[in-house]
Structure 1
């Protein structure tokens, strides 16, 4: 039998992750997936200045993320453009677009949509492995731990991943930094859906309001997504 092409496993994983990310959203978001340790085209405009003093690992993550963002722009028919950053490191998207970037140690994901279709997006990717025991109480509220039942604390990593996506989605609208205790996540037992409920009033969101999302396991990773203001108002 002929041998598999070099990089075949990585290509398959990349395609699987891209398909999984698309499944997180009801609207047709543009999705791009890049591998951090591969070579990527040079940064554009003033992007390089943002990471001029960064460590090599951060430079690689940033470069892969900006490359993924430009791939997603092209999917939407938008010309490749620089994605600069605010002082809080939040991406500055080209006019008319909104999106989110996330990376694990291996993969980087960018999702983009038109502002006419959605108000904000949040994406997160994490290695699908249990949280260290000493972090569970820091990330999970007592109510979340109770719902997990104590027997399935491996699902605490899903709560972490869900909170990260929800936080990223709300931030462009609220510009509010907060901790894990501001969101109370309920995971669905039968499907990939979750709800991230605000535990306090937060700028544009009232206590008790929920950000619906989805989370799935793919290629040894968890990926979660939240969209705010989708046309059909369904969960992310």
Structure 2
């Protein structure tokens, strides 16, 4: 397992399977998946193949059957019935997490280089509360990029429940550097999420990358 794979294991509970696959080492996409990259350049095909291979390995690690994971019309992965998960890519690796849908309605994973966020996009990513917080941090633009990563991961996490596209302004993120925890809070209602609803997450820095993971537990039954 790559170092990134070990880091991901610390972001989620034990029942969440995880995997990392080096880009360029995965077999070709399965027939049900291939249309998604039929006209893609070789690099994109390699990334896609590694992502799907990592997703199948994550399914197996969660005790679920390996299966094809096609791309939907909204470009989101179509996970097999009874499963949910998330896929992301660094420059060298595809990373994935998966879990039973009976335990989680959604998972979100995102990775970015551990580098400062360009200052000219700061206002597009961060709201006034987030900007005020990062202004008080050492290396504020590094923490701004973490907020970007967190919002991407939180968006992926909530999407299976809402199926709604929205921008960075719809969520605000709180970061606790001491505990490595994140909280993403909706700033407006995005059904089924109410204004103020929160998603719990975690983050880590490793191997020149910053990684964020979020989870949406399944609603209690009975």
* Correspondence 1:178-217 to 2 at 5 A: 178-217=166-205
Matched, 1:45 2:31: yes
Q: Give the conservation status (yes or no) of the 8 Å contact 2:26–2:46.
A: no
Q: State the distance in 2 between where 1:213 and 1:110 align.
A: 16
Q: State the distance in 1 between where 2:209 and 2:218 align.
A: 25
Query: Bigger radius of gyration, 1 or 2?
Result: 1
Q: Secondary structure at the match of 2:104?
A: coil
Q: State the distance in 2 between where 1:205 and 1:65 align.
A: 29
Specify the alignment match of 1:8 in structure 2: none
The structural deviation recorded for 1:87 is 0.4
2:8 pairs with 16, 21, 26, which one?
Answer: 21
Q: Give the conservation status (yes or no) of the 8 Å contact 2:182–2:202.
A: yes
Q: Give the conservation status (yes or no) of the 8 Å contact 1:128–1:222.
A: yes
Length-normalised TM-score, structure 1: 0.87
> CA RMSD of the aligned region, Å?
1.7
Number of aligned residue pairs: 218
Matched, 1:99 2:82: no
Q: Give the conservation status (yes or no) of the 8 Å contact 2:118–2:141.
A: no
Matched, 1:30 2:50: no
* Structure 2 portions without partners, runs of 5+: none
Q: Give the conservation status (yes or no) of the 8 Å contact 1:73–1:80.
A: yes
The structural deviation recorded for 1:157 is 0.8
Specify the alignment match of 2:104 in structure 1: 118
Length-normalised TM-score, structure 2: 0.93
The structural deviation recorded for 1:97 is 0.8
Q: State the distance in 2 between where 1:190 and 1:145 align.
A: 19
Specify the alignment match of 2:131 in structure 1: 145
Q: Give the conservation status (yes or no) of the 8 Å contact 2:182–2:201.
A: yes
Q: State the distance in 2 between where 1:146 and 1:218 align.
A: 26
The structural deviation recorded for 1:57 is 2.2
Matched, 1:61 2:50: no
Specify the alignment match of 1:5 in structure 2: none
Q: State the distance in 1 between where 2:67 and 2:131 align.
A: 43
The structural deviation recorded for 1:125 is 0.9
1:183-231 Cα distance to aligned partner (Å, 9 max, x none): 1111113111011111111011111111111010011101110010169
